[in-house]
Amino acid sequence: MPDISKRHTYTTEVVWTGNRGTGTGTYRGYGREHEIAAPGLPVPPIPGSSDPAFRGDPARWNPEQLLLAALSQCHMLSYLHVCTVAGVVVTSYTDRAEGTMEETGDGGGHFTRALLRPRVEVASAAMVDAAVGLHADAHRLCFIAGSVNFPVHHEAEVTVAAGG
């Protein structure tokens, strides 16, 4: 029997805001705009749409970007945790992730890969090797990476903070 104390449930709400007066009467006649919220929580809604390639608003987040952002966030948070436990002091972290999605002939599609490019700064040169190696542990612990069915690769770069 699973340990219920280790089970977490998340709730979101997506509300379509793209009805231009005629609903989905025609493919070009409705907007893809929507808002993503977490009911009952004091977080601002995220403005969403579809990718501009699918008639979406480029000024709003699309699901593909949000999936990639979730992978990047989860890896970063797992990485900061494993560094703390290992005594590696991270002073800066930036990731410019990239994902590839391929459309299928039936109008669907799927991600084929994600590439995370963490740029990490550590407090001391003595921490660099451990900092590089800990990305594998972070990947293994990342809840989101463990939930997707495509490979998530890493091209990490670790530098030393000034004076370290």
pLDDT in tens, 115-148: 999 999 999 999 999 999 999 999 999 999 999 9
Please give the model's pTM, rounded to 2 decimal places.
0.88
Average pLDDT over residues 67-73: 96
Cα separation, 164 vs 151, whole angstroms: 34
pLDDT in tens, 2-32: 677 788 888 888 888 999 988 888 888 899 9
- Residue ranges and CATH numbers for the domains of the chain are 1-61 (no CATH), 63-160 (3.30.300.20)
Of the candidates 44, 80, 48, 54, the residue with the CA atom closest to the CA atom of residue 66: 48
Cα separation, 137 vs 74, whole angstroms: 12
Break the chain down into helix, strand, coil percent, rounded to 5.
30, 25, 45
Predicted local distance difference test score (pLDDT) of residue 117: 96
Contacts for 45-53: CB closer than 8 Å, 24+ residues apart: 48/14, 49/18
Question: Which residue has better confidence, 14 or 65?
Answer: 65
